[in-house]
């Protein structure tokens, strides 16, 4: 690098070498970091009165970063979660530069000291079994598109797959034999295997017959694979139709991810242990999976019903002394 003070070469190395070749981050994470810098650099140019190709690392000062975060939160009306996501990308850039340029260690420490803003986590949304049944009934299975959409909804519920995971699903990932299952490539390039119900296999078979193993399972009218945005649109469209006959669905934000939450809650109610659910959904931490036990109202209601209210109002009887305790008391 000719001049380590200039920011441009650092940005290039960060985007094209570090996060791709060195860290092998997912495509979505790479795009998120790229989009953050696409917003940050023009803003920093205005604040520092510098041409973008002549900006120095120190021009991206902690003050400018804080102003940028305020801008995206208040002027662009982004959520706190989005603000924190942008700050995480800036922290990563600062750490990358600081580890390779000793003269910027102080700058790196100041930028990385900018804290994330606390936010209230929204409650996990999921569907009750009758609501899910109504949703699955919406596609018209007399049409080609209805067959595909029903198979998609059933697959999302069976596997708990994310929209992006379903979009990348290929014919070769499905095992249609005696032990039907699917191989899903999830976040962090983690591969997991989920069992499939016979009805899910029956719904998927018309979509896979005569197809190459590398072909996408869920394709659109033009023969191209559905994107995660297309899958999201399929789910929301049928959720809107289902809301006409089942009013409670109109009060819920139904999406592919809420179907994923539904899978976890229904597995938990069926007696599946929490560690199996973690592996089923591809969670890294058990803490992420534990939220489903906290939000399940049915399980909470059963726990409440199992408590004898009258016994709580009576004073507890003292336990009789154990024999060893009696011997000790008699020896005094």
185: enclosing H helix or E strand: strand 181-185
- 181-185/174-175 β-pairing: antiparallel
* pLDDT for position 315: 58
Please tell me the distance from the alpha carbon of residue 154 to that of residue 143, in angstroms, as a whole number. Answer: 17
Map 193-248 to HEC letters. EEECCHHHHHHHHHHHCCCCCCCECCECCCCCECCHHHHHHHHHHHHHHHCCCCHH
> Count of alpha carbons within 13 Å of 200, Cβ hemisphere only?
22
Q: What CATH topology corresponds to 129-304?
A: hpI Integrase; Chain A (1.10.443)
Token pair belonging to 235 = 């789910």
* pLDDT for position 329: 41
Please tell me the distance from the alpha carbon of residue 185 to that of residue 27, in angstroms, as a whole number. Answer: 13
Segment 78-105, tens digit of pLDDT: 999 999 999 999 999 999 999 999 999 9
Token pair belonging to 222 = 């033009």
* 49, burial (CB in 10 Å: exposed 0-12, middle 13-18, buried 19+): exposed
Nearest Cα to 161, choosing from 205, 217, 121?
A: 217
- Residues 15 and 65 sit within 8 Å (Cβ to Cβ): no
Nearest Cα to 61, choosing from 49, 75, 74, 72?
A: 49
Q: 7-112 — its CATH code?
A: 1.10.150
Nearest Cα to 125, choosing from 279, 248, 301?
A: 248
Token pair belonging to 205 = 């078979």
Please tell me the distance from the alpha carbon of residue 143 to that of residue 248, in angstroms, as a whole number. Answer: 28
Q: Which active-site residues does the annotation give?
A: 162, 187, 257, 260, 283, 292
* pLDDT for position 295: 65
Which regions of the chain are under pLDDT 70?
A: 1-2, 121-124, 287-288, 293-332
For the chain, the domains span 7-112, 129-304
* pLDDT for position 318: 57
Please tell me the distance from the alpha carbon of residue 238 to that of residue 149, in angstroms, as a whole number. Answer: 9
Residue with tokens 């976890």: 264
* pLDDT for position 325: 42
| Strand arrangement, sheet containing 174-175 | 174-175, 181-185, 191-195
Please tell me the distance from the alpha carbon of residue 187 to that of residue 283, in angstroms, as a whole number. Answer: 9
Contacts of range 28-36, beta carbons closer than 8 Å, 24 or more positions apart: 28/164, 32/85, 32/89, 33/89, 33/92, 33/93, 36/85, 36/86, 36/89, 36/90
* pLDDT for position 243: 94
């Amino acid at each position: 690098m000719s001049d380590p003070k200039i920011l441009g070469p650092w940005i290039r190395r960060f985007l094209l070498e570090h996060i791709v070749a060195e860290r092998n981050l997912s495509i979505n994470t790479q795009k998120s970091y790229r989009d953050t810098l696409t917003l940050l650099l023009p803003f920093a140019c205005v604040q520092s009165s510098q041409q973008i190709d002549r900006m120095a690392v120190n021009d991206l000062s902690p003050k400018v970063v804080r102003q940028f975060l305020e801008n995206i939160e208040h002027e662009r009306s982004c959520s706190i979660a989005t603000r924190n996501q942008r700050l995480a990308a800036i922290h990563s850039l600062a750490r990358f530069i600081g580890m390779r340029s000793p003269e910027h260690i102080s700058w790196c420490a100041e930028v990385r000291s900018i804290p994330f803003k606390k936010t209230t986590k929204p409650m996990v949304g999921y569907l009750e079994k009758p609501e899910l049944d109504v949703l699955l009934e919406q596609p018209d299975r007399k049409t080609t598109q209805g067959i595909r959409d029903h198979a998609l909804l059933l697959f999302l519920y069976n596997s708990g797959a994310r929209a992006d995971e379903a979009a990348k699903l290929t014919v070769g990932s499905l095992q249609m034999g005696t032990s039907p299952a699917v191989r899903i490539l999830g976040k962090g390039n983690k591969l997991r295997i989920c069992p499939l119900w016979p009805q899910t296999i029956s719904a998927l078979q018309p979509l896979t017959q005569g197809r190459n193993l590398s072909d996408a399972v869920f394709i659109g009218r033009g023969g191209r694979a559905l994107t995660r945005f297309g899958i999201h649109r399929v789910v929301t469209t049928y959720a809107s139709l289902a809301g006409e006959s089942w009013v409670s669905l109109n009060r819920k934000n139904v999406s592919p991810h809420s179907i994923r939450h539904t899978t976890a809650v229904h597995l938990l109610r069926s007696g599946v242990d929490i560690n199996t659910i973690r592996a089923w959904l591809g969670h890294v931490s058990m803490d992420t999976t534990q939220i489903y036990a906290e939000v399940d109202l049915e399980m909470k209601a059963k726990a409440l019903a199992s408590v004898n209210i009258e016994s709580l109002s009576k004073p507890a009887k003292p336990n009789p002394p154990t024999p060893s305790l009696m011997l000790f008391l008699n020896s005094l």
